[in-house]
Structure 1
Amino acid sequence: MCELLGMSANVPTDICFSFAGLVPRGGGVGPHRDGWGIAFYEGRGLRAFHDPQPSADSRIAELLVSYPIKSKVVISHIRQANVGDVCLANTHPFSRELWGRVWCYAHNGQLDKQIFDWPLTYYKPVGTTDSEYAFCWLLDQVRSRYPDGPPERENELAELIHSCCEKLRGLGVYNLLLSESSQLFCYCTTKLSWITRRAPFGEARLKDSDMVVDFYAETTPNDVVTVIATEPLTDNEQWQALKTGELVVFADGEVQTRLGGQSCG
């Protein structure tokens, strides 16, 4: 399995602290040594970094831990390969254009090989992973239903994405992070948790790194920042777990929509 990391904020914010908590899990304290990637939205633009090397040993990852790129939406992924070679083409997150926006996507889990029999219309995979193929299929469904732009009715797009994720979950484990630059769609099959930080801000301590940050000194009273991760990154904060089959959509750091979900176990 892989691990996911995402962020939604109401002001451009760096993710250095959380990313520092993820990096050691990529071949250091964790087995996810088959590549990593991270993507930052800047308006409708997307700045992305990919490396098929373990994040724990990556000079690029080392740079990004200390280089505060500000963004309102971030998606990151560290890979433990199960389908497809370890190479740049198979390194998440993946991206495609729809409605003049760059959509960004990362998946944790494994799908049955029958996913490769599902027909694709417009989007085609570059690599050979089940994850990217599922992304192409999902965007095909959105484009087919809404070829000219997003629907006007609130939650209609989220309902379609949730329906697609439910179908994909029928093929195996499907944990997802997806964005079109303003919203962050998070879907859970097995493990995905989130925390929203707002005033009064306090101190946070990483589980897998010797690092503590006082968010009170790093933020303003109006900041709202939500971090989503496969496993909670800190050990002194209360994270919320998504339920199996639940889609949570964040915008500007706040929960915008919640659909589906059943208790695990």
Structure 2
Amino acid sequence: MLPISMSPPSPHHQQRRIVHQTQSALLCQLLGMNCATPTDFNFSFSGFCRRGGETDIHQDGWGIVIYENGSLRQFHDAEPASTSLLADFVCRLPIRTLNMMSHIRFATVGEVNLSNVHPFRREMWGIDFCFAHNGEVPLFDQCPNHCLTSLLQDDDEGLENVYYYNPVGTTDSEATFCAILNALRQKFDKVPSVPVLYDSMQKLCDEIVDSDREGTILNFLLTCGSHTLWVYSWPGSRPGSKVWNGLHYTTREYPFHSHHLCDVDITVDFSTRTSKEDCVSVIATKPLTDDEEWTELERGELVLFDRGRPQRSVVDLFQVDIDGHGLQSNVVEKSSIEDDMKTYNIDPSTFQGACI
């Protein structure tokens, strides 16, 4: 897609503050975008930033990670996104990306400071993992160093709980991220294929949710490279609130149409800026536009987005790996994709022309 030139109003203009009772508020909000070709994110990001203190109350910081040419740009600010000079600067940057995520915070656990601003970033297997979360996770609020054990087998009983990753801040979100990475690193001595990682992620999410199915709200975005965006949703409402915390997505592909943002009067005709090769999925806590169809993730659903489309079947997940969009490490050996296919009873000849 060709870049879209737009930015939020100057942060010096008079902002309209909306005040809500804490118990009725969305905890935080998430934005993710996954694309088939390098794409400008300013349309969605412009609307999203308004929710950081202007059209909504999420004014306790914001952050964004953007993959560009195989590397990662990262920006964080403890100021409201709607008035942040840094957010205004990012929105003006002519960056195109295959993969990005952003977060605006309404602080419920942890102080308002930079160490508690999402997305969080860690290196594992020589790969950048990034994570942003909306919700409440009592398991890690009550015990930040809790170990997840659902990936361990009977013959793993001798393994010690090693804390490779620890929170820097004080949020249950960062503690959740560190626990997921610790569990994956302890389980795998080789970089797993995408279907194996998918199954492992699903088990870890189930373990977290099962610890408190009523009290847990777990919606997150996770990246582990420049191509794929992992999205999980265990939605819910806070006690005494009717405000729903979930995740929605929309997929834009040829033929493209015009779309209008909910939070600011901006409309873009994507048909004039795209080609047939373009495809983009936008993931958000609440729909960002008011004139296109958004799909809410099912409760407990884990979806991998690649090339701008949701991938759910085992065959599709193997195809992501074969296309070179899985975990790519220069420091840790990768597991045999052929062996993994046998485990899933997948015939390698299914993938025509693949060099397996």
Short-chain TM bin: over 0.9
Among residues 298, 322, 342, which one is paired with 1:243 in the alignment?
298
TM-score, length of structure 2 as denominator length: 0.70
Decide whether the 8 Å contact of 2:145 with 2:179 is kept in 1: no
Decide whether the 8 Å contact of 1:15 with 1:68 is kept in 2: no
Quote the sequence identity (%): 43
Among residues 92, 100, 107, which one is paired with 1:66 in the alignment?
92
TM-score, length of structure 1 as denominator length: 0.93
Among residues 180, 200, 212, which one is paired with 2:224 in the alignment?
180
* More strand as a share of residues: 1
1:106-145, aligned counterparts within 5 Å?
Answer: 106-112=132-138, 113-119=141-147, 121-145=163-187
Runs of 4 or more, structure 1, over 4 Å off, are none
Could you tell me which runs of 5 or more consecutive residues in structure 1 were left unpaired when the two chains were aligned: 260-265
2:112 is paired with a residue of what secondary structure? coil
1:147-162, aligned counterparts within 5 Å?
Answer: 147-151=189-193, 154-162=194-202
Counterparts in 2 of 1:258 and 1:233: CA distance versus 1, 3 Å: farther
Report the CA distance between 1:258 and its aligned residue. 6.2
Deviations 1:163-197 (A, max 9, x none): 11222223411101001012111001111000110
2:105 is matched with 79
- The worse-fitting range, judged by mean Cα deviation, of 162-171 and 235-244 is 162-171
Deviations 1:176-223 (A, max 9, x none): 100101211100111100011011000000001110001111211210
1:228 is paired with a residue of what secondary structure? strand
Query: Once superposed, what is the RMSD of the aligned Cα atoms?
Result: 1.4
Counterparts in 2 of 1:64 and 1:258: CA distance versus 1, 3 Å: farther
1:1-265, aligned counterparts within 5 Å?
Answer: 1-112=27-138, 113-119=141-147, 121-151=163-193, 154-170=194-210, 171=212, 172-181=216-225, 182-190=227-235, 191-257=246-312
2:199 is paired with a residue of what secondary structure? helix
Decide whether the 8 Å contact of 1:97 with 1:103 is kept in 2: yes
> Which structure would you say has the larger Rg?
2
2:201 is paired with a residue of what secondary structure? helix
Q: Provide the rounded CA distance (Å) in 2 between the counterparts of 1:105 and 1:201.
A: 30
1:31 is paired with a residue of what secondary structure? coil
The amino acid that maps onto 1:187 is Y
Q: Provide the rounded CA distance (Å) in 1 between the counterparts of 2:192 and 2:112.
A: 35
1:263 is matched with none
